[in-house]
Amino acid sequence: MQKEFIKMEDRINHKESMTAEEKAACDLPRISLEQNTGNKRKLYIESYGCQMNFSDSEIVTSIMHKNGFDTTNSMELADVIFINTCSIRENAEQKVRNRLAQFNALKKRKRSLTIGVLGCMAERLKAKFLEEEKIVDLVIGPDAYRDLPNLMAEADEGNKAVNVFLSKEETYADISPVRLNSNGVSAFVSIMRGCDNMCSFCVVPFTRGRERSRDPHSIIKETIELVEQGYKEVTLLGQNVDSYKWQSEDGSEKVNFAQLLEKVALISPDLRVRFSTSHPKDITDEVLYTIKKYENICNYIHLPVQSGNSRVLDLMNRTYTREWYLDRVKAIRNIIGEDCGISSDMITGFCTETEEEHQETLSLMEEVKFHFAYMFAYSERPGTLAQKKYADDIPEETKMRRLNEVINLQQEHSLYRNKEALGKVHKVLVEGESKKSNLEYKGRNSENTVVVFPKGDCKMGDYVNVLVTDCSLATLFGEIIEIIPSSTKISN
Ligand code: SAH
Ligand code: SF4
Ligand code: F3S
């Protein structure tokens, strides 16, 4: 028992058993891979924050590649350093400031080095960044990446440049991302940008602008290309995928999220389909029935609750109540099945949250027993509705104590869910070598839990049936029972 209740830091350090979402949640940066196509100049790109940011870095790399750059994983070798930033909590921004101080030492040795700040923090601080951080040459917001060739030309002339224009239309639909974070098995596909929700704690609507959905034809095209390259899993990305809504210019073709999900699932039965993030107010039964209908759409939903108390949810402007959330969980279990993986996000110590209200978050967790969760202490962000309307009045130590209670309870629930998986056979997509041993592979089951097992005769990208015989808090362990033969061809 004792071993299983490992501290959060240990779990964070034990990176191999973390999903991509978990890595993102604990703010580990993604670093560009080595790419040698003969381009003369080298770009080093480091990305923080959510999967949207990681996905954007792949768009940026594609644009820079056409503009004469290959990527490198060594900042010492770089002609240009980009840092793709996140503003979601204060510590995310602090990390970037610390990193810039380290880049400064490099720039002192190499005067020609260009340093660009991209992403949400660039958008939030705009030209102020150039005043605050003298080493920065370029400040580029998330909708301005097409302008990179012009901005780079400015930098090459020795000028500083800023473009933080937010667009109502930009989706980068026609740009083929250069897969930076890829194991060749799973890829992220962005389906929409921005967010119109205005949750009162959240900076995203200000850094990413208005919500817009990408043309489904370009999503399908990108996914077919991935399948042709041998990819076996796509994760459809958006801040609120359930509000995906697209229509053709003449209005004759309309696609909602459930329909998009179906179109992607139909591309190939061998392609696993995941998506993130769902919003409790918007997730429809139509989406749940679509998940149920297609075996290759994973039985896993990330459904952030934020708080278990309806008054706090109202202050957060989440536009649902505790009862509504629990009803959605019930619908997931009724329609998809009792064992559907559900994960969540929680914020502790939001403005005016009382002890009793915090207890309601714990009791909601007890009712649902999430498979996993990403848990945060409230961090006031400049310009948000909460910062303007409410006092950030919960003392830091209370926020942290509540956070620890939430984390401890979640650890019990993760272990509970993992124990439920014992003795059962799980279909796992082989995603890579386990970091602990080159004799083992790791992958995930449909419910998104990491499974580690001896390699046997399978290879990366195979589907295998694994009998789970043991578990820790974050990982299932087992052995292969059979390698599942692949069935299909691609349908357009
Ligand atoms: N679009 C997603 C969330 C994106 S941000 C959704 O609506 O659920 C990821 C998570 O960061 C949020 O779910 C929330 O739990 C957390 N978060 C956002 N703003 C925060 C803040 N100011 N302080 C602490 N956590 C925050
Ligand atoms: Fe932020 Fe809310 Fe939008 Fe999520 S839905 S990105 S929490 S405003
Ligand atoms: Fe961070 Fe921006 Fe994503 S604030 S969480 S990188 S949308």
Q: Under a CB-based contact definition with an 8 Å cutoff, are residues 180 and 60 in contact?
A: no
Type of residue numbered 251: G
Of all protein residues, whose CA lies closest to atom 7 belonging to ligand 3? 204
CA of 435 to the centre of ligand 1 (A): 30
Q: Which of 83, 53, 81, 85 is nearest to 69 (CA)?
A: 81
Of the pLDDT bands very low, low, confident and very high (cuts 50, 70, 90), residue 28 is confident
CA of 435 to the centre of ligand 2 (A): 34
- Whether the per-residue pLDDT at 4 is higher than 70: the answer is no
Q: What is the 3-state secondary structure (H, E, C) of 382-424?
A: CCCHHHHHCCCCCCHHHHHHHHHHHHHHHHHHHHHHHHHHCCC
Burial of 169 (0-12, 13-18, 19+ CB in 10 A): exposed
CA of 45 to the centre of ligand 1 (A): 24
Distance CA 292, CA 135 (A): 52
Residues 412 and 431 in one domain: no
- Helix, strand or coil, per DSSP, at residue 446: coil
- Chain mean pLDDT for the chain: 92
pLDDT, position 182: 73
* Backbone φ and ψ of 378, nearest 5°: -60, 135
Q: Under a CB-based contact definition with an 8 Å cutoff, are residues 21 and 298 in contact?
A: no
- Whether the per-residue pLDDT at 21 is higher than 50: the answer is no
Question: Which ligand has the shortest distance to the CA of 208?
Answer: 3
Read off the pLDDT of each residue in 353-363 and give the average, rounded to a whole number.
Answer: 98
pTM for the full predicted model: 0.92
pLDDT, position 489: 56
Q: Which residue has the higher pLDDT, 147 or 34?
A: 147
Would you state the structure tokens that stand for residue 346, as one six-digit string? 């929680």
Q: Which of 27, 204, 376, 388 to mutate to test the pocket of ligand 1 (most atoms within 8 A of CB)?
A: 376
**Ligand 3 site, residue 87, Cβ cutoff 6 A:** yes
Read off the pLDDT of each residue in 364-392 and give the average, rounded to a whole number.
Answer: 97
Phi-psi region of 428 (alpha: psi -120 to 50; beta: other; left: phi over 0): beta
pLDDT, position 81: 97
pLDDT, position 358: 98
**Ligand 3 site, residue 88, Cβ cutoff 6 A:** yes
Residues 215 and 284 in one domain: yes
- Whether the per-residue pLDDT at 387 is higher than 60: the answer is yes
Q: What CATH number did the domain enclosing 75 receive? A: 3.40.50.12160
**Ligand 3 site, residue 120, Cβ cutoff 6 A:** yes
| Alpha helix stretches (DSSP H) within 70-147 | 90-109, 119-125, 128-132
The reply to whether 351 sits in an annotated binding site is no
The reply to whether 199 sits in an annotated binding site is yes
Read off the pLDDT of each residue in 108-133 and give the average, rounded to a whole number.
Answer: 94
Full residue range of the structural domain in which residue 455 is found: 425-484
CA of 201 to the centre of ligand 2 (A): 8
pLDDT, position 486: 82
Q: Under a CB-based contact definition with an 8 Å cutoff, are residues 180 and 45 in contact?
A: yes
Residue 492 lies in a domain: no
Q: Which of 446, 447, 483, 486 is nearest to 464 (CA)?
A: 483
Residue 381 lies in a domain: yes
| Alpha helix stretches (DSSP H) within 1-42 | 8-13, 20-25
Residues with a CB atom less than 6 Å from ligand 2 = 195, 197-199, 202, 204-205, 239-240, 279
CA of 49 to the centre of ligand 3 (A): 5
Type of residue numbered 379: S
Q: Which of 315, 309, 376, 446 is nearest to 50 (CA)?
A: 376
pLDDT, position 423: 97
Residue 474 lies in a domain: yes
Among candidate residues 402, 420, 438, the one where a domain is terminated: 420
Residues 6+ apart with CB under 8 A from 111: none
Residues 119 and 258 in one domain: no
Question: Which ligand has the shortest distance to the CA of 379?
Answer: 1
Residues 6+ apart with CB under 8 A from 260: 191, 216, 219, 236, 244, 246
Distance CA 21, CA 278 (A): 14
The reply to whether 202 sits in an annotated binding site is yes
- Whether the per-residue pLDDT at 14 is higher than 60: the answer is no
- Whether the per-residue pLDDT at 16 is higher than 70: the answer is no
Q: What CATH number did the domain enclosing 392 receive? A: 3.80.30.20
Q: Under a CB-based contact definition with an 8 Å cutoff, are residues 236 and 153 in contact?
A: no
Q: Residue holding tokens 């108390």?
A: 309
pLDDT, position 18: 43
Residues 413 and 438 in one domain: no
Of the pLDDT bands very low, low, confident and very high (cuts 50, 70, 90), residue 17 is very low
**Ligand 1 site, residue 201, Cβ cutoff 6 A:** yes
Residue 275 lies in a domain: yes
Q: Which of 23, 46, 53 to mutate to test the pocket of ligand 3 (most atoms within 8 A of CB)?
A: 53
Q: What is the 3-state secondary structure (H, E, C) of 197-219?
A: CCCCCCCHHHHHCCCEECCHHHH
CA of 239 to the centre of ligand 2 (A): 6
Share of the chain above pLDDT 70, in %: 93
Residues 250 and 389 in one domain: yes
pLDDT digits (tens, 9 = 90+) for 209-244: 999 999 999 999 999 999 999 999 999 999 999 999
Of all protein residues, whose CA lies closest to atom 2 belonging to ligand 2? 199
Phi-psi region of 158 (alpha: psi -120 to 50; beta: other; left: phi over 0): left
Q: Which of 21, 50, 88, 317 to mutate to test the pocket of ligand 1 (most atoms within 8 A of CB)?
A: 88
Phi-psi region of 189 (alpha: psi -120 to 50; beta: other; left: phi over 0): beta
Type of residue numbered 395: P
Residues 23 and 38 in one domain: yes
pLDDT, position 32: 83
Would you state the structure tokens that stand for residue 309, as one six-digit string? 């108390």
pLDDT, position 490: 59
Burial of 294 (0-12, 13-18, 19+ CB in 10 A): middle
pLDDT digits (tens, 9 = 90+) for 36-52: 888 889 999 999 999 99
Residues 25 and 56 in one domain: yes
Q: Under a CB-based contact definition with an 8 Å cutoff, are residues 224 and 488 in contact?
A: no
The reply to whether 120 sits in an annotated binding site is yes
| Number of folded domains that form the chain | 3
Q: Which of 87, 197, 314 to mutate to test the pocket of ligand 2 (most atoms within 8 A of CB)?
A: 197
Q: How many CB atoms are located within 10 Å of the residue 483 CB?
A: 15
pLDDT, position 420: 96
**Ligand 1 site, residue 277, Cβ cutoff 6 A:** yes
Question: Which ligand has the shortest distance to the CA of 316?
Answer: 2
pLDDT digits (tens, 9 = 90+) for 444-487: 999 999 999 999 999 999 999 999 999 999 999 999 999 998 87
Residues 323 and 191 in one domain: yes
Residue 86 lies in a domain: yes
pLDDT digits (tens, 9 = 90+) for 184-201: 999 999 999 999 999 999
Would you state the structure tokens that stand for residue 229, as one six-digit string? 């390259």
The reply to whether 458 sits in an annotated binding site is no
Q: Which residue has the higher pLDDT, 67 or 181?
A: 67
- Whether the per-residue pLDDT at 382 is higher than 60: the answer is yes
β partners of residue 374: 345
- Ligand 1 atom closest to the Cα of residue 304 is 8
**Ligand 1 site, residue 350, Cβ cutoff 6 A:** no
Q: Which residue has the higher pLDDT, 13 or 343?
A: 343
Residue 322 lies in a domain: yes
pLDDT, position 181: 65
Question: Which ligand has the shortest distance to the CA of 50?
Answer: 3
Distance CA 403, CA 392 (A): 16
Read off the pLDDT of each residue in 358-373 and give the average, rounded to a whole number.
Answer: 98
Share of the chain above pLDDT 90, in %: 87
Residues 81 and 98 in one domain: yes
Q: Which of 193, 240, 378 to mutate to test the pocket of ligand 2 (most atoms within 8 A of CB)?
A: 240
Residues 438 and 318 in one domain: no
**Ligand 3 site, residue 86, Cβ cutoff 6 A:** yes
Residue 171 lies in a domain: no
pLDDT digits (tens, 9 = 90+) for 300-325: 999 999 999 999 999 999 999 999 99
Residues 342 and 432 in one domain: no
Residue 76 per-residue DSSP state? G
Encode burial over 300-335: b for 16+ CB neighbours within 10 A, e otherwise. bbbbbbbbbbbebbebbbbebebeebbebbeebeee
pLDDT, position 488: 56
CA of 120 to the centre of ligand 3 (A): 6
Among candidate residues 420, 453, 470, the one where a domain is terminated: 420
Among candidate residues 148, 163, 178, the one where a domain is terminated: 163
Residues 119 and 261 in one domain: no
The reply to whether 471 sits in an annotated binding site is no
Residue 218 lies in a domain: yes
